[in-house]
Amino acid sequence: MNEVKITYETLFDLLKIEKDRDELQELDDTFYSDVMHYLTQKQSLINQEGTQSGLFGASESEKTKIQVLNIKKIVKELYERREAKIIRLAINKSKTGSNLTNTVAMLPEEKIFFAEILLVLNKNRLTVLQKILFFNNGLNQQPKPVQTTPIVEEEPNLEPPKEAIAELKKEEESVKPVPPAEKEMATGDEIKTEPQTEETPKVESIKTQEPKDEYDIKIKVKFLGEVPKFVGKKLEVYGPYTEGDTAELPKIIANILINKQRAKIEE
């Protein structure tokens, strides 16, 4: 925006435009500091007029004081209208997870305010709403508290989780064939041995095991839009995902995303 000299009239016009339009209006980055400089000049004028003698000096001083009060009212209303618009933008971004929010019209102070509001909204949505949305009533269990420690952003990982690999190794060890025991049969000085029947291969045993519950069944899905980070039933962290990303998710979570048209089954 081109530089605008701050006057009572320009402030009044800026407020009128901000009131008439739904979008946040663009201002100079130094707008608030310019307003402070303008008020400082007015205050100096009041002090100077107050030292003058006669009715004329007193009259001009009162007019300037009234104008300063009106300027403060205008700036206050302008600030609050812009504040409400920024809060609405933050709420919408938190709901949709979109990266298309236009912050060009925000002043430097307003961008900081927007980021802090968005952080609070996202944290509350993660710890309250998503804990309820992804709670499985069929298990008749109380929802576990959501992790409150800081979460490090990571790229989506499609490899099997370490917990699943550890569990698989544990199962392999439990069905690992025992070395053939030799049964000693002593007849005089000779010792004969009889090997035990060979165990069934461990791979076949693993393949026949079924998942413990539906949550352990994984489905590969492709995301149709942006999905923010969320926490699963077992406190595992998923996301964030963008359009076109693929991931293997528990069947329950995958069905929720598919029903909400946020993802589809990857063929």
**Rounded average pLDDT per 10-residue block, the chain, 267 residues:** 73 95 94 94 83 58 89 96 96 87 91 95 89 66 41 40 55 49 42 45 44 74 87 80 89 88 86
CATH 3.40.5.50 domain locations along the chain? 162-265
| Distance, first Cα to last Cα, the chain | 50
What integer pLDDT is reported at residue 184 of this predicted model?
41
Instruction: Give CA angle at 50 (45, 54), nearest 5°.
Output: 125
Question: 8-128 maps to which CATH number?
Answer: 1.20.58.1030
What integer pLDDT is reported at residue 136 of this predicted model?
58
CB-based contacts of 241, cutoff 8 Å, min separation 6: 156, 223, 226, 227, 247
The overall pTM is greater than 0.75: no
- CA 65, CA 46: separation in Å to the nearest integer? 7
CATH architecture of 162-265: 3-Layer(aba) Sandwich (3.40)
232: phi then psi, degrees, rounded to nearest 5: -80, 180
What integer pLDDT is reported at residue 165 of this predicted model?
52
- CA 58, CA 225: separation in Å to the nearest integer? 66
CB-based contacts of 183, cutoff 8 Å, min separation 6: 193, 194, 196
What integer pLDDT is reported at residue 208 of this predicted model?
44
Asked if the bond preceding 240 is cis, omega within 30° of 0, the reply is yes
What integer pLDDT is reported at residue 137 of this predicted model?
56
Instruction: Give CA angle at 173 (169, 179), nearest 5°.
Output: 150
> How many other CB atoms are found less than 10 A from the CB of residue 79?
16
What integer pLDDT is reported at residue 88 of this predicted model?
94
CATH 1.20.58.1030 domain locations along the chain? 8-128
Q: How far is CA 116 from CA 19, 54, 94, 217, 225, in A?
A: 25, 53, 12, 38, 25
Question: Do the beta carbons of residue 133 and residue 141 sit within 8 Å?
Answer: no
